[in-house]
Amino acid sequence: MLPRRDSILRCNLSAFVAKATTEVEHSMRNLLWLASPVLLLVTEQCLAQQPVPWHDPSSHRIEFVTVEDNVKLEVLDWGGEGRPLVLLAGLGATAHIFDDFAPKLTPEFHVYGITRRGFGASSAPLSGYSADRLGDDVLAVLGTLKVDQPVLVGHSIAGGELSSVGSRHPERITGLIYLEAAYGYAFYDRSKGDFVIDLQELQKNLEQLKSAADLSNEKPLIEELLRTILPGFERELESLRQEISQRQPLDPTPTDADRESFAAWRSWEKRVYGDLIPEAELRQTLESTPEGHVGPEKANKANAVFLGRQKYTDIRCPVLAMYSIPEDLGPFVDDDPIARAAFDADNVAIKEPLVKSFETGVPSARVVRLLHASHNVFMSNEADVLREMHAFLAGLY
């Protein structure tokens, strides 16, 4: 009897399990049917809260070019017909800074942009930030892409790369265009000097004296220090003191609302400084929070590039140099005419001697002064820059 009872129990248990499973499945189907509108609504709300992926609207093509072992540079190609132009950004910026400017040149030229090492999507090695090394990077890109006889267009600190190529390899290019870029790091005038270059040279000379076994062997260096190097450096320190003391209004501070999105930040910069920075450039240089807010500046190698200045005194190719003098700081100082006038006077006193140095040292260069342009002269005075560039480039054919 036990085996039979066991068999009956097993059959009853199986029937119970089957019935229970059917009821559970039926209940689950009813529950899912009832819950599906709620789940759909919650899903839609979650999707609605997700930030829409941002896409760069610029018409460029992006590729990466190897310039050294484990070092690749981002290269933008906006296309176009005619002579190649290669755009190089200022300190802290990437080639995307030209996203709005470059397409204005493509009807007549083939336009490229290079993001130097240490910035944006380009590699950021620990070394290789001297002006000559950065110039070699530019030449490596030209060689890889087979860009023949371009005109290099550099903004701000990129003047160092322009002068490096124009001094050492003028046969590789057709001309140079300096946009607020032809200062001491682009052309070295001993009578004016360059504080960063001369400070590093002075440090090397002092280290040489410090490590000398017999100072009598260093007599020529000591005489050179006393006769020219130290007096020149003293003049540079005085000029630096005047520059630091320049009466300049304090920059405004962005609010949380200004950091709410990159569009809001872009509007804030335009409202404060007057320049409308391409959003792609902002996204390359500023962090983004998970919520899509604007964070702090991304890490870069600006200090290494700043300290990588070198002396250039022999630029051997056609040159156009454009300056903003006095420089326009933006709308945020327009409400204070006294502060604006004071800054203008100081700015001219500091910049005009540097402009004169370049004008005298590179006598074949065409030098253009633009009144109250911003440092981003290709943004604030786009029409003027395009006009001068076209006239200069037309003369190269």
Residues 79 and 181 in one domain: yes
Kindly state the average pLDDT of the residues 299-316.
96
Q: What is the pTM of this model?
A: 0.84
**258 CB contacts (<8 Å, ≥6 apart)?**
264, 265, 267, 268, 294
Tokens representing 193 are 């000097």
The reported pLDDT for the residue numbered 289 is: 94
Cis peptide before 326 (omega within 30 of 0): yes
pLDDT of residue 342 exceeding 90 = no
* pLDDT single digits (tens) 250-272: 778 999 999 999 999 999 999 99
The reported pLDDT for the residue numbered 16 is: 40
Query: Under a CB-based contact definition with an 8 Å cutoff, are residues 74 and 36 in contact?
Result: no
What's the number of domains the chain is made of? 2
Tokens representing 113 are 């942009």
Report if residue 259 sits inside a domain: no
CATH of the domain at 325: 3.40.50.1820
Residues 185 and 204 in one domain: no
The reported pLDDT for the residue numbered 118 is: 98
Report if residue 7 sits inside a domain: no
Kindly state the average pLDDT of the residues 309-326.
96
pLDDT of residue 114 exceeding 60 = yes
Report if residue 126 sits inside a domain: yes
pLDDT of residue 3 exceeding 50 = no
51/135: higher pLDDT: 135
Residues 199 and 185 in one domain: no
Residues 74 and 199 in one domain: no
**323 CB contacts (<8 Å, ≥6 apart)?**
180, 182, 351, 355, 367, 368, 369, 370, 377
Residues 154 and 233 in one domain: no
Confidence of residue 70 (pLDDT cuts 50, 70, 90): very high
Structural domain of residue 325, as residue ranges? 61-189+302-394
Mind giving me the DSSP string for 167-213?
HH-GGG-SEEEEES--STTTS--TTT--HHHHHHHHHHHHHHHHH-S
Confidence of residue 11 (pLDDT cuts 50, 70, 90): very low
The reported pLDDT for the residue numbered 20 is: 47
**23 CB contacts (<8 Å, ≥6 apart)?**
none
* pLDDT single digits (tens) 192-232: 889 999 999 999 999 999 999 889 899 999 999 999 889 98
pLDDT of residue 297 exceeding 50 = yes
Report if residue 280 sits inside a domain: no
